[in-house]
């Protein structure tokens, strides 16, 4: 997979692509991530990329011609262009599994007041990470990239990705490690039993209990009600 991230602030991504799972995935050639400065595609004086809004108002608006130049230069037949915006469809784990099958993603990060609305005609997906507003699309693009990359083959172990929150519409079950007892709090005895069938049953029940309590909106059918 190839991911191109278009941004006005490329330095924000330095730590993101040089640490942890993302760095390992890059080093193993599982993913190619390019952080691209939108100013490189500006033909305006001083590499200007935004301007004041027509009709007046606060803030600066990202210019359509600059974004067009960037996308046109990078796009190919396999490209999906995603614009990070608070009024896009909300990203979730189901979409992460869908997007991991894309060959080439361009993530467009806005900043300040937002985008010239004509930019919407240049993208395939408008995506949000939640119902709140951030300074720009850089952090949301990192969230989406991290969520997708960790699902690519070889990025993490298959077992780790299978036993995670939101798989099968459930939050993750509780996990424990040493010490077995700490300040009166003990590891559940079933996890020490060696009975893998009972452990699996306990983990499912705990995941279901946690989901009912914290995210009942994820449940369907008989799982909604306590048994």
How does pLDDT run across 130-159, given as a tens digit for each residue?
999 899 999 999 999 999 999 999 999 876
Q: Does the pLDDT value for residue 160 go beyond 70?
A: no
For the entire predicted model, the pTM comes to 0.88
How does pLDDT run across 103-138, given as a tens digit for each residue?
999 999 988 778 999 999 999 999 999 999 899 999
According to the model, what pLDDT value does residue 162 have? 63
Tell me if the domain spanning 2-149 has CATH number 3.40.1280.10: yes
> Any idea which of 96-100, 159-163, 205-209, 210-214 has the lowest mean pLDDT?
159-163
According to the model, what pLDDT value does residue 169 have? 84
Q: What is the mean pLDDT of residues 83-88?
A: 94
According to the model, what pLDDT value does residue 159 have? 63
Element (DSSP H or E) covering residue 26: helix 20-27
Q: Between residues 166 and 206, which one has the greater pLDDT?
A: 206
**Tokens 């997979």, residue?**
1
**Tokens 């995941």, residue?**
207
According to the model, what pLDDT value does residue 144 have? 98
Q: Which of 182, 220, 176, 222 is nearest to 202 (CA)?
A: 176
Half-sphere exposure at residue 53, Cβ-oriented, CA atoms within 13 angstroms: 14
Cβ contact 17:23 at 8 Å: yes
Domain ranges within the chain, ordered by starting residue:
2-149, 163-224
Tell me if the domain spanning 163-224 has CATH number 1.10.10.10: no
How does pLDDT run across 42-84, given as a tens digit for each residue?
999 999 999 999 999 888 999 999 999 999 999 999 999 999 9
Neighbouring CB atoms inside 10 A of 136's CB total 18
Topology match between the domains 2-149 and 163-224: no
**C-alpha to C-alpha distances, 135 to 12, 43, 139, nearest whole angstrom:** 12, 25, 9
CA–CA gap between residue 195 and residue 199 (Å, rounded): 6
Q: Does the pLDDT value for residue 227 go beyond 70?
A: no
Cβ contact 77:86 at 8 Å: no
Cβ contact 4:106 at 8 Å: yes
According to the model, what pLDDT value does residue 111 have? 80
Q: What is the mean pLDDT of residues 170-179?
A: 94
Q: Give Rg (Cα) of the chain.
A: 22
Cβ contact 141:147 at 8 Å: no
Element (DSSP H or E) covering residue 3: strand 2-7
Q: What is the DSSP string of 85-105?
A: EEEEEEP-HHHHHHHTT-SEE
């Amino acid at each position: 997979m190839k991911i191109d991230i278009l941004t006005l602030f490329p330095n924000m991504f330095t730590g993101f692509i040089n640490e942890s799972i993302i760095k390992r995935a890059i080093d193993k050639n599982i993913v190619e991530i390019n952080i691209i400065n939108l100013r490189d595609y500006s033909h305006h004086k001083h590499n200007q990329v935004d301007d004041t809004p027509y009709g007046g108002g606060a803030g600066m608006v990202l210019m359509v011609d600059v974004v067009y130049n960037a996308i046109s230069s990078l796009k190919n037949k396999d490209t999906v262009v995603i614009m990070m915006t608070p009024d896009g469809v909300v990203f979730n784990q189901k979409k992460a599994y869908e997007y991991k099958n894309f060959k080439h993603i361009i993530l467009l990060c806005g900043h300040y007041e937002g985008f010239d609305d004509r930019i919407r005609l240049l993208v395939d997906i408008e995506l949000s990470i939640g119902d709140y507003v951030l300074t720009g699309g850089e952090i949301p693009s990192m969230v989406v990239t991290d969520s997708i990359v960790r699902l690519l083959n070889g990025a993490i172990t298959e077992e780790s990705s299978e036993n995670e929150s939101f798989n099968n519409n459930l939050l993750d079950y509780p996990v424990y490690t040493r010490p077995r007892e700490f300040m009166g709090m003990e590891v559940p005895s079933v996890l020490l039993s060696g009975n893998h069938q009972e452990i699996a049953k306990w983990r499912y029940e705990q995941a279901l209990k946690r989901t009912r309590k914290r995210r009942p909106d994820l449940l369907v059918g008989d799982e909604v009600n306590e048994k």
